[in-house]
Structure 1
Amino acid sequence: MPFAALPDLNMYYERAGAGEPLLFISGTGGDLRVKPNVFDGGLGQAFDLLAFDQRGLGQTDKPDVAYSMAQYADDAAALMDHVGWDSALVVGVSFGGMVAQELVLRHPQKVRRLVLACTSPGGAGGASFPFHEIDHLKGEARARHLMAFSDTRRDEAWAKANPELYEQLVQMSATDPFAGEPGREHGAWRQLEARSHHDTWERLPQIAVPTLIAAGRYDGVALPETQLNLAMQIPGSTLRFFKGGHLFMIQDRTAVPAMIEFLKA
């Protein structure tokens, strides 16, 4: 298993495929052991794909100290150095999109083209759903609470009309096969804590690389109006909405091909 020895932690990563280098930055709670993952989709077939477990998550070290968004961005930059990449295409999804914003702002020379998917700028531009405020909810209770935020079409009326599908989705979201691992709980909390302080709003006009903002029309986590704010604040950016919620990349089969087309332009 490949690990990168970064200045203050050991980071687990995976790399596969061929073509232009693409760094994929995952969302809240991301763990490469959970299958299927990004390597099983179109991005893994179209690029030399590099993905990793962020600090506090998966098989990467989980120091029980405060994390910052700047640290997350610097981790990504350090991993690129570890594999010998001077620059790469970058896709950041949800929390990973927040990290990607910091990466391109702190290390602009490392990013060739950028996709920000279902994410938010924070600050005056609007924040994503405050997961840190519901950390007390676990398992099924958390899954039920988040159902209508993940996709705003899945409201109470929808749940009553589709009870079997609703319960299936709850069980899929409630299951954590790695619960109870040492450091897992405090690492996840440290990520949420850093996420709650994310704010790139005033700095976004500094982004000078081609940027695609990809979003779900029915996303209650990263709201559609927040995507409009991102598009207005990042010079020359392109905004595309897809049919789905926070998981639009899975729900709309046109989403990943559109990202690939943009990245290869």
Structure 2
Amino acid sequence: MSTAHRLLGSGDHKVLVLHDWFGTSAGWGSFLDYLDGDTFSYAFLDYRGYGDRKDVTGAYTLAEIADDALALADELGWENFSLVGHSMGGKAVQQVLAQAPHRVRKLVGLAPVPAGAYPLDADGEALFFGAALDRDKRLAIVDLVTGQRASRAWVALMVDRSIEHSTREAFGGYVQDWVTADLAHRISGSPVPVKVIVGEHDLALTAEVMRGTWLAHYPNAELEEIANSGHYPMHETPVALATSLEAFLRA
């Protein structure tokens, strides 16, 4: 295999999983313990500049992530597969769908960035575009999207792992692309079955935002709001997330 990845399970239903801006293929916590490896095979990809591919340079764009994801699927011999994407990965899986719609069985967005450009005011631009070089800005972002309710130790751990396991160039490059890229015209109206899962305490990517974007773009989309979770249900409510995800993939 030429594309580094993590593989979980040996089931017939193949699932490509794309992580968030702060995460890696290894950053899914105990959620992985609750997945059904007899029914599903999950492949977790690290982006260029992240995790096991931290030393791999690139353009750091959604299109590049999609190209790498499709290359991994080809290497694994997966002609058809479902897609799961968290946050920035939620926009990246839509890029995969845009590039290879005939290969996608189902699509799941976990607290996902919508397909269109993501509007930021001046303060938001300073916060997000400055986060590559400023640990305090990363702390503020994780605190915001978890509803300003998570422990300081956990927020710091998430941030420090992001600093350790990604390069500044990659972290700064991807945000420029996922904030500005507009894929809406390429995926709108797709008949693929879609499930969108958000945490009730996420202050950024809310159920209301999803109704105006994801559910408006996909005619076969459904929305679930997970109680007692913010932006990171794989850490905050892992059993509930695994149960919800696989119930949809099995249906």
| Common fold by TM > 0.5 | yes
Distance change (3 Å), C-alpha of 1:209 and 1:50 = same
Are 1:167 and 2:162 counterparts? no
Shift of 1:148: 3.9
SS of alignment partner, residue 14 of structure 1: strand
Matched, 1:146 2:130: no
Structure 2 counterpart of 1:237, one-letter code = A
* Structure 1 residue 41: Cα displacement: 3.8
Cα pair distance change 1:246/1:204, threshold 3 Å: same
Structure 2 residue aligned with 1:233: 217
* Residue 127 of structure 2 is aligned to residue 100 of structure 1: no
- Structure 2 unaligned regions, length at least 5: none
**Cα RMSD (Å):** 2.8
Q: Report the alpha carbon displacement of residue 102 of structure 1 after superposing the two structures with TM.
A: 0.9
Partner SS, residue 97 of structure 1: helix
State the match for 2:56 in structure 1: 62
Displacement of 1:137 after TM fit? 5.4
Tell me the CA shift for residue 47 of structure 1: 1.4
Give the aligned partner of residue 195 of structure 1. 178
Counterpart residue type for residue 240 of structure 1: E
Per-residue deviation, 1:104: 1.0
Residues 1:257 and 2:243 are matched in the alignment: yes
Is 1:42 the equivalent of 2:35? yes
* Aligned partner of residue 23 in structure 2, secondary structure: coil
- Distance in structure 1 (CA, Å) of the matches to 2:173 and 2:162: 20
TM-score, normalisation: structure 2: 0.83
Q: Is the 8 A contact 1:115 1:212 kept in 2?
A: yes
Q: Tell me if the contact between 1:17 and 1:49 (Cα under 8 Å) persists in the aligned partners.
A: yes
- Sequence identity (%): 23
Alignment of 1:71-90 (within 5 A): 71-90=64-83
Are residue 15 (structure 1) and residue 30 (structure 2) matched?
no
1:209 equivalent to 2:192? Answer yes
Amino acid in the other structure paired with 2:194? T
**Structure 1 pair 120–176 and aligned structure 2 pair: CA distance change class (3 A):** closer
Gaps of 5+ in 1: 5-10, 155-164
Cα 1:34–1:214 shift into 2, 3 Å: closer
The CA distance in 2 between the partners of 1:248 and 1:59, in whole Å, is 23
Conservation of the 8 A alpha-carbon contact between 2:132 and 2:168: no
